[in-house]
Amino acid sequence: MVLDLNLLREEMDLRRPAPGIGTPRQEDDEVEILSGVKDGMATGGALTMFVRNRDRDSDKYKQFRDKPRPGHADQTAVAKYGECHDIRGGGQFSGRMTAALVAGGSVAKQLLAEHGIVVAAYTESIGKVVDARRHGIQDMLSIARSNDLRAASEDVIEAMREEILGAREEGDSIGGVVHCLIDGVPVGLGEPFFDTVEGELAKMMFAIPAVKGIEFGAGFRAAAMRGSEHNDPFVVVQGRLRTAKNDAGGVLGGISNGMPIEFRIAIKPTASIAKEQRTVDLKKMEETSLAIEGRHDPCIAPRAVAVVEAAAALVMADLSIRGGIID
């Protein structure tokens, strides 16, 4: 397989912080390929991609060992890994780890594209600004890739930006929702027990820091619906079997049903905020307060769009290989 390094570069750039709304911390996110590619072709051997950290500012993390940051894994990690846990930059809990997902996901995307499977996502909401429109994949591939909010509707861009800037001005952060669509999925991927399409995607998504929920199709709305309202009627469109809507999100019985796979991801607000928070001094076992200085994104959602796409592509490539669609 030809590996297009320009596409890889584009995906990496889509994950980088945007001027104005993102962290001023600048990493070039250069991907060095250590093995598995020769003359632009994947050789079939292990593909090793390496992204170096360059813009480090490690000193200010030391204090979090004794005064753990609320919403972070500082204390949890020390409990698990002991004193040798590397707390600099959050260590393996850093959002920076998602650069690797995006690099790997770009390869998966290229592999899927050869089989007509396309993964795309966009920012559905930032705080209270919600893009209520339903988008096809074209909006995600064009509009959402050309604005730094990763919004699929142009008229929500400025409101989303203000929501982020408003949070930052107050030394605070804000959450959001990422909406993902996978088009061109053949019927029959996944298993009823236990490797469902939903389960495999969900497991991967929760490896992305800050993800706190996932729903497919109508998701939590389905809980308040009647069956007659929620069930997708079967219809014939141009001689092919389809469903009239897609409240099932493309999955029935854990197996892809041939409709686009559609899911929404809840992204919590960035845990690192400048505002003073309550925490505990672990040495004295006394409550104290903490204000986190540093260069943090006030909202992760726009950057998470590239990560969700990449993670979904990795899962779909795996399911496609297991299902005999690829290779």
Nearer to a second copy, 184 or 206 (CB): 206
Can you tell me the distance from the alpha carbon of 120 to that of 153, in angstroms, rounded to the nearest whole number? Answer: 14
Minimum distance from residue 146 beta carbon to a second copy (Å)? 23
Residue 97, CA atoms < 13 Å, CB-side half-sphere: 12
Which of positions 119-148 make contact with a second copy (CB under 8 A)?
Answer: 125, 127-128
* Residue 243 φ/ψ, nearest 5 degrees: -110, 155
Asked whether the CA dihedral 33, 34, 39, 41 is positive or negative, the reply is negative
Which of positions 194-253 make contact with a second copy (CB under 8 A)?
Answer: 194, 196, 198-200, 202-207, 209, 211-220, 222-236, 239, 241, 243-244, 248-249, 252-253
> In the set 106, 246, 256, 320, which binds a second copy (CB under 8 A)?
256
By CB under 8 A, the count of residues binding a second copy is 116
Site for a second copy contains 43 (CB under 8 A): yes
Residue tagged 């499977």 (tokens)? 117
Minimum distance from residue 66 beta carbon to a second copy (Å)? 11
Site for a second copy contains 63 (CB under 8 A): no
Site for a second copy contains 302 (CB under 8 A): no
**What token pair was written down for 107?**
């390869």
Nearer to a second copy, 97 or 113 (CB): 97
Residue type present at position 4: D
Site for a second copy contains 283 (CB under 8 A): no
Site for a second copy contains 46 (CB under 8 A): yes
Nearer to a second copy, 18 or 281 (CB): 281
Separation in Å, CA 309 to CA 14, 182, 199, 295: 11, 9, 16, 25
Which of positions 66-85 make contact with a second copy (CB under 8 A)?
Answer: 68, 70-73, 75-77, 79-82, 84-85
Segment 8-11 long-range contacts (CB within 8 Å, at least 24 positions apart): 8/103, 8/106, 8/107, 11/102, 11/103, 11/105, 11/106, 11/109, 11/306, 11/309, 11/310
